[in-house]
């Protein structure tokens, strides 16, 4: 991205004290690390350390890609396609770190920039999901299946928590108006722990679509509720459309209607890539918002 273009990007998305490396380091760092990991994989490709682990349940073996149960990585394409999650996770975490160090962030009119705890929550939730999904498709084991599923919930909870904060940015305590961000952040983390311990057992085909629709519907409603605000609404629409396309491809893959088991091109891998794009677009939408909350940092 040319320097002049990045300056415009900074302006549009409230990246006040950020440098271009907040985007480039996660990209190149993840790719360099993954290259080394790939060489290790190729040297040990025909090891099979997962045979004695408890195997994943449900539709875990129904994806189109051939299950190479005698190899180190059972589903290669579905595994490596998770790198996108890890890249954007480190971008979100890097942005949060820079936001926290910005001395003038109290005067910023964007809540994500003003309260970096939400970027940290979104970033670490995305990282957790990316690693969990990577290891799940690499192993098809029950333990990493749990990480994969709870990771999706963690990310949705983090986005919904930020949406809730936008709706209720302040709270009255002993007659004093204070920011509600700490309460909402800790509430989201508590809910994530509950999902990890108990709630993840709720059928994913019911819970995941419900949380996803809750996220998008609440955001579109919030656009009309929050006054004195401005944002690039097209980003939220693009995020929603991208997710719909991704979900369609997920269905075609798992029902074997779009299927070539030994091909490097896998529908579920495309699902991962499009989800990465959808998450990044939703985050950029939040960064594009400009309004004047009453919350105090």
- Checking if the pLDDT of 281 tops 70, the result is yes
Residue 93: the pLDDT is 97
Contacts of 5 (CB under 8 A, 6+ apart): none
pLDDT tens digit sequence for 201-245 = 777 777 777 777 777 777 677 666 554 455 677 888 899 899 999
The b-or-e profile of 177-198 (16+ CB within 10 A means b, else e) is eebbbeebbeebbebbeebbee
Answer left, alpha or beta for residue 65, where phi above 0 means left and psi between -120 and 50 means alpha: beta
Lowest mean pLDDT among 56-70, 79-93, 258-272: 56-70
Residue 86 dihedral angles phi and psi, to the nearest 5°: -70, -40
pLDDT tens digit sequence for 170-204 = 887 777 788 889 999 999 999 999 989 887 777 77
Label residue 297 by pLDDT band (50, 70, 90).
Answer: very low
Euclidean distance between CA atoms 46 and 25, whole angstroms: 32
Residue 224: the pLDDT is 61
Residue 293: the pLDDT is 47
Residue 3: the pLDDT is 52
Answer left, alpha or beta for residue 295, where phi above 0 means left and psi between -120 and 50 means alpha: beta
Residue 217: the pLDDT is 77
Q: What is the DSSP string of 109-165?
A: S-HHHH-THHHHHHHHHHHHHHHHHHHHHHH-BHHHHHHHHHHHHHHHHHHHHHHHH
């Amino acid at each position: 991205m040319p320097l002049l273009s990045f300056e415009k990007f900074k302006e549009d998305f409230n990246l006040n004290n950020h440098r271009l490396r907040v985007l480039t380091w996660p990209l190149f760092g993840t790719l360099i690390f993954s290259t080394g990991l790939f060489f290790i994989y190729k040297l040990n490709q025909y090891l099979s350390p997962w045979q004695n682990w408890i195997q994943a349940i449900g539709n875990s073996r129904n994806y189109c890609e051939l299950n190479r149960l005698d190899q180190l990585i059972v589903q290669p394409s579905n595994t490596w396609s998770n790198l996108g999650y890890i890249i954007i996770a480190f971008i979100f975490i890097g942005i949060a770190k820079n936001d926290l160090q910005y001395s003038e962030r109290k005067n910023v009119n964007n809540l994500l920039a003003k309260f970096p705890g939400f970027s940290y929550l979104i970033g670490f939730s995305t990282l957790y999901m990316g690693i969990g999904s990577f290891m799940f498709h690499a192993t098809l084991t029950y333990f990493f299946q749990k990480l994969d599923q709870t990771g999706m919930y963690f990310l949705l909870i983090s986005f919904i928590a930020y949406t809730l904060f936008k709706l209720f940015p302040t709270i009255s305590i002993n007659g004093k108006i204070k920011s509600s961000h700490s309460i909402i952040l800790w509430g989201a983390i508590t809910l994530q722990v509950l999902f990890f311990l108990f709630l993840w057992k709720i059928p994913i085909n019911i819970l995941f679509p419900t949380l996803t629709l809750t996220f998008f519907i609440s955001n579109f409603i919030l656009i009309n509720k929050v006054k004195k605000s401005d944002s690039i609404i097209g980003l939220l629409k693009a995020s929603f459309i991208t997710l719909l396309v991704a979900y369609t491809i997920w269905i075609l893959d798992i029902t074997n209607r779009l299927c070539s088991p030994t091909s490097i091109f896998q529908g579920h891998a495309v699902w991962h890539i499009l989800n990465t794009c959808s998450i990044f677009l939703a985050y950029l939408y939040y960064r594009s918002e400009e309004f004047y909350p009453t919350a105090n940092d």
